[in-house]
Amino acid sequence: MQNVTDRVRNPFGMEPGCERYVPGYGDVNADFHIIGDHPGVHGGLDAGIPFTGETWSAAFIDALVESGLLVRDGGDFGNKNGEANVPEDLAYGVGPTYLSYLHMCAVAGEPTPEEYDDMERFLDAEVRAIAAHVLLPVGDRATDHVLRSYTARAWKTELNMEALHAEELLGAGWLVLPIKEPAEWVDGDADRLVEALEALQATDFRRESDLGRFIAGSDPYFVR
């Protein structure tokens, strides 16, 4: 089943009940779902677009563009999509990817555990509606959440982002590829991510089987 919408910013119409927030952005039928923390850590408030507006944003977006997960938008990002204008070096368009946060609202300081819990329903709805094949949590908190919520690995996986960066982990129906906090990247971290994503896309990462032969009609029926 595919989602049908022509919206790329907040395509599911999420209303978190806060004055300023950064909603999900991207392809609602994405193969890749990048999950960040909150705007205070991963930016996006000025443009309303995840992972923009930070000193490390250009390097992070460049790595995703180079690996084919995002595409450059030629600097016309704001005009074409009706959003605030974004500097050309930070503008990106839709690739086979969706981006969203654990906690989309702007808060003073760090969200409380209760606030994270309240926002979890929005992220979980997006994860299950998009059903991307690969989840890419960014940073410690998002990686911990994804491992606990969407895999059976949390109890046996040490949360060492240096070791987990760009490493493939099997989840419950998802492949998980954690990303080290972009603000902490050093030489080689971007290349490591690009190489891992290119290698992944060269494999059968969707791991689908066509069961259409078992049902009436000629249409395929893919499951994973």
Q: Report pLDDT digits (tens) over 108-167.
A: 999 999 999 999 999 999 999 999 999 999 999 999 999 999 988 766 678 899 999 999
Quick one: average pLDDT of 200-219?
Answer: 60
Residue 8 lies in a domain: no
Does residue 16 fall inside a structural domain? no
pLDDT at residue 69 tops 90: yes
Q: Is residue 42 part of a domain?
A: yes
The reply to whether 76 falls in a domain is yes
User: Can you read off the two tokens belonging to residue 166?
Assistant: 């760009």
Residue 180's domain is classified under what CATH number? 3.40.470.10
pLDDT of residue 92: 72
The reported pLDDT for the residue numbered 207 is 58
pLDDT of amino acid 173: 78
Residue 15 lies in a domain: no
Confidence of residue 215 (pLDDT cuts 50, 70, 90): low
Q: What band does 6 get if pLDDT is binned at 50, 70 and 90?
A: confident
Number of folded domains in the chain?
1
Q: Which has the higher per-residue pLDDT, 209 or 29?
A: 29
Does some domain include residue 167? yes
Q: What is the mean pLDDT of residues 22-44?
A: 96
Domain that holds residue 80: 25-223
The more confident residue out of 111 and 173 is 111
Whose tokens are 């004055």? That residue is 19
More confident position, 77 or 189: 189
Backbone angles phi, psi at 89, to 5 degrees: -75, -10
**Helix, strand, coil fractions of the chain, as percent rounded to 5:** 35, 15, 50
Q: Is residue 5 part of a domain?
A: no
For residue 123, being part of any structural domain is answered with yes
Give the confidence band of 213 by pLDDT, cuts at 50, 70, 90. very low
Backbone torsions φ then ψ of 61, nearest 5 degrees = -65, -40
Q: How far apart are CA 169 and CA 166, in angstroms?
A: 9
Q: Is the confidence at residue 223, as pLDDT, over 70?
A: no
Res. 195: pLDDT tops 90: yes
pLDDT at 206: 61
Torsion of CA 169, 171, 173, 175, to 10 degrees: -20
